[in-house]
């Protein structure tokens, strides 16, 4: 996944309320056994959950940031966010698909229907499209 995101010129950062020391141990003892060489992107410490609070994912009772992912464009606009409880894993393929869709939208002004993949039909927004999407795009 990281190679796909790197090719798309995406910077990936991980963050939790754990300390840098905990991240180092987790990387060495767990992640490096699951991913060859460990996780290839920076893991940041959010001591006290101040950043998680800004993004709405900090749980003050547990003292942790809830698992979430954010797609933030170069102008620092949050384009997408997904927050899941720990029991459910995230889908890296869907993350890559969404990044490609947002990059296509920025480059073309077109919009992408549900499940869009590069090469699929897109829509050009206009007032004339209202009430006629069904004629242009059939899922």
Q: pLDDT by residue (tens digit) across 32-47?
A: 998 888 888 899 999 9
User: Taking a C-beta distance cutoff of 8 angstroms, is the pair 16, 47 a contact?
Assistant: no
Residue 35 resides in a domain: yes
Question: Domain span at residue 59?
Answer: 2-87
Report if residue 51 sits inside a domain: yes
Residues 82-116: pLDDT tens digits?
998 888 888 989 999 999 999 999 999 999 988 89
79 Cβ contact partners less than 8 Å away, ≥ 6 residues apart: 71, 72, 73, 98, 102
CA–CA dist 57, 82 (Å, integer): 10
pTM above 0.75, yes or no: yes
């410490």: which residue's tokens?
45
Instruction: Quote the number of domains for the chain.
Output: 1
The CATH number covering residue 72 comes to 3.40.30.10
* Beta-strand pair 58-59/64-65: antiparallel
Helix (H) or strand (E) holding 93: helix 92-108
């Amino acid at each position: 996944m990281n190679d796909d995101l790197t090719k798309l010129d995406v910077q990936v950062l991980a963050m939790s309320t754990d300390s840098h020391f905990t991240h180092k141990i987790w990387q060495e003892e767990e992640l490096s056994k699951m991913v060859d060489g460990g996780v290839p992107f920076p893991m940041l410490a959010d001591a006290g959950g101040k950043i998680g609070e800004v993004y709405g994912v900090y749980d003050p009772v547990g003292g942790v940031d809830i698992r979430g992912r954010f797609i933030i464009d170069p102008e620092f606009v949050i384009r997408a966010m997904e927050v899941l409880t720990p029991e459910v894993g995230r889908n890296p393929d869907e993350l890559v698909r969404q990044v490609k869709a947002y990059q296509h939208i920025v480059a073309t002004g077109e919009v992408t229907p549900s499940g869009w993949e590069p090469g699929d039909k897109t829509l050009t927004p206009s007032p004339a499209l209202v009430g006629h999407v069904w004629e242009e795009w059939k899922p």
